[in-house]
Amino acid sequence: MSDQISKFYAYVDSHEADFVQRLADAVLYPSISSDQTPQGRQHVINMGSYIHGQFAQFVAKPEDVQLVDLGFQDDTNPQIRLPPVVLARIGEDANKKTVFVYSHYDVQPVGGWKEANVQDPDAFILNTTRPDGQLIGRGATDDKGPIMGWLNVLEAHKSIADGLGKPLAEILPVNIRFLFEGMEESSSLGLDKWINEEVQKPNKGWFNGVGCACITDNYWLTTHRPALTYGLRGIAYFSINIEGATNDLHSGSFGRMVHEPMTDLVQLFSLLVGTNGVIFKEVEEMVPAPTPEERAQYAQLDYAVSDLRQDIGNPVELSEDPVELVMGRMRYPSLSIHGIQGAFDTITTAIPHKISGRFSIRLVGKQTPKAVHEIVDKFLRKEFDNLKSKNKMSLTLEVEGMPWVGDRDHWNFKAAHAATIAVHGVNLTPDYTREGGSIPITLTIEQALDGENVLLLPMGRSDDGAHSLREKLDRDNYFKGTKVYGTYLYELAKQVAS
């Protein structure tokens, strides 16, 4: 077995240029799932077809790789189809463990990329020439890099299998079930429904025999130490909708004569969260204070204030205590204000007559979107009444996702821990983190597997800038991440289920 792992590592080392080209080919597809134009959606569909074609090289039978049609975006627009789910199955040996692997192939929009990246004007042409080893392009780390990493693992083992005159599935230490979606950045529309229907089939359909799951869609806590993630915050995304006059008004003619929606909104925003990050008390009181034992657990993480400053660029941290900072990211809820729809972004003296203020709350512990929605709605209605405004206000819950915490002591995590040390060395044992972001599909997968363990195994670093105007993946993380994925499969095979 160790000889086979050595061959796997050697193949990765000798094919780095090919693997970078594979990532560049994937980045070329502008697979922006939020673009609901026919042309924009076709780009995402084309990316799904590309992934399907790549995995088709490694399956034993044509039916082992599938494009699953999820139907239309919504009933009112039958012209826009949802991107397909890509499924790939390798191995059906009942004597081996079966791992389920999830990633997504859609990406965020790129507005402003050209202006922010003079040297990299096209977000979908991967910059591979930088001396610092950064591979810059939209989707490089979120989440095309990890998908290409899995393809690299399969290619390397296919070469080994061919040299031995054996099928790929025979030499892999476990069976693998892959699922890649194209709507993760747009609330995973259609996927929950498909998964829930699939598990109702005899023997749970595509999920038959799966004993654990691995999601490769997050990042290290820092730039210098690998991480394994066992928790995620949930999300409740809201819009405060305020309407006043029937049309926009001239401030010179109507200023100080009418209740202005923007003024009402600013007042309400100021009451939701303080500049210290603390949310209004009804939300804060939903989460108990950390115990000394819990605080000590966070103190063990290899994290410093300088790590945060490196990621954000300027010293605007809320605390000089790194334990408070990581708890702010992992175990406390947070409220962020995102924007105002209906406001003007040019110099104008008009008074907007109708606006929508967007904000979200990241949820933890026993907080649910439903419970938080009720609390926020009650709070805002009371405070709006206190304004004595004659405008109309309503609150809408736009997006929701439950928080999740898994079992970090499970053999699935032990396998990933051993794989990380094997590749990065004993001096870089992984941090065990609860991610500040939300990946709602995690809970859906856990439920579909009847509670089998789910692991988040990141490839990229904390400064990769997913969703930002300079998204990148470091070469070192790409190649070592590929090795970690492959080694993880071997370590899974060693684990005794408990």
Question: Which of 468, 475, 473 has its CA nearest to residue 117?
Answer: 468
What are residue 77's phi and psi, to 5 degrees?
-135, 80
- Segment (H or E) for 100: strand 98-104
Question: Which of 445, 431, 432, 458 has its CA nearest to residue 218?
Answer: 458
CB of 160 closer than 8 Å to CB of 6: no
Strand stretches in 436-488, DSSP E:
454-456, 472-474
474 is catalytic: no
pLDDT attached to residue 297: 92
DSSP 176-234: EEEEEES-GGGTTTTHHHHHHHHTTSGGGGGGTT--EEEE---B-SSSSS-EEEEEE-E
Instruction: Say how many C-beta atoms besides its own lie within 10 A of residue 133's C-beta.
Output: 14
Decide: pTM greater than 0.95: no
- Count of all residues that appear for the chain in the document: 498
Q: How far apart are CA 193 and CA 180, in angstroms?
A: 15
Q: How far apart are CA 60 and CA 350, in angstroms?
A: 64
CA distances from 167 to 103, 161, 164, 181 (A): 25, 6, 9, 27
Q: Which residue ranges form the domains of the chain, and what is each CATH number? A: 3-232+404-494 (3.40.630.10), 234-287+332-401 (3.30.70.360)
Active-site position among 35, 106, 431, 491: 106
- Residue 399 pairs in a beta bridge with 237
* pLDDT (tens place) for every residue of the chain, 498 residues total: 589 999 999 999 999 999 999 999 999 999 999 999 999 999 999 999 999 999 999 999 999 999 999 999 886 667 899 999 999 999 999 999 999 999 999 999 998 898 888 788 899 999 999 999 999 999 999 999 999 999 999 999 999 999 999 999 999 999 999 999 999 999 899 999 999 999 999 999 999 999 999 999 999 999 999 999 999 999 999 999 999 999 999 999 999 999 999 999 999 999 999 999 999 999 999 999 999 999 999 999 999 999 999 989 899 999 999 999 999 999 999 999 999 999 998 999 999 999 999 999 999 999 999 999 999 999 999 999 999 999 999 999 999 999 999 999 999 999 999 999 999 999 999 999 999 988 989 999 999 999 999 999 999 999 999 999 999 999 999 999 999 999 999 999 999 865
The DSSP 8-state label assigned to residue 143 in this structure reads I
- 249's tokens: 């008004």
Residue 50 neighbours by CB under 8 Å, 6+ apart = 25, 26, 29
CB of 354 closer than 8 Å to CB of 260: no
Q: Give, to the nearest 10 degrees, the angle between helix 475-494 and helix 145-164.
A: 60
Place of tokens 């892959």: 178
Place of tokens 């990406």: 107
320 is catalytic: no
pLDDT attached to residue 132: 95
pLDDT attached to residue 74: 80
pLDDT attached to residue 49: 98
pLDDT attached to residue 115: 84
Instruction: Say how many C-beta atoms besides its own lie within 10 A of residue 166's C-beta.
Output: 11
CB of 124 closer than 8 Å to CB of 29: yes
Side-chain-side CA neighbours of 132 within 13 Å: the count stands at: 6
Apex 124 CA angle, 123 and 130, nearest 5: 70
Active-site position among 142, 155, 181, 184: 184
Residue 52 neighbours by CB under 8 Å, 6+ apart = 65, 66, 67, 84, 86
Instruction: Say how many C-beta atoms besides its own lie within 10 A of residue 353's C-beta.
Output: 19
Question: Which of 263, 269, 271 has its CA nearest to residue 343?
Answer: 263
Question: Which of 437, 470, 444, 449 has its CA nearest to residue 458?
Answer: 437
CB of 86 closer than 8 Å to CB of 48: yes
Q: How far apart are CA 51 and CA 67, in angstroms?
A: 10
What are residue 153's phi and psi, to 5 degrees?
-60, -45
Per residue in 229-265, pLDDT (tens digit) is 999 999 999 999 999 999 999 999 999 999 999 999 9
Apex 233 CA angle, 229 and 235, nearest 5: 145
- Segment (H or E) for 21: helix 16-27
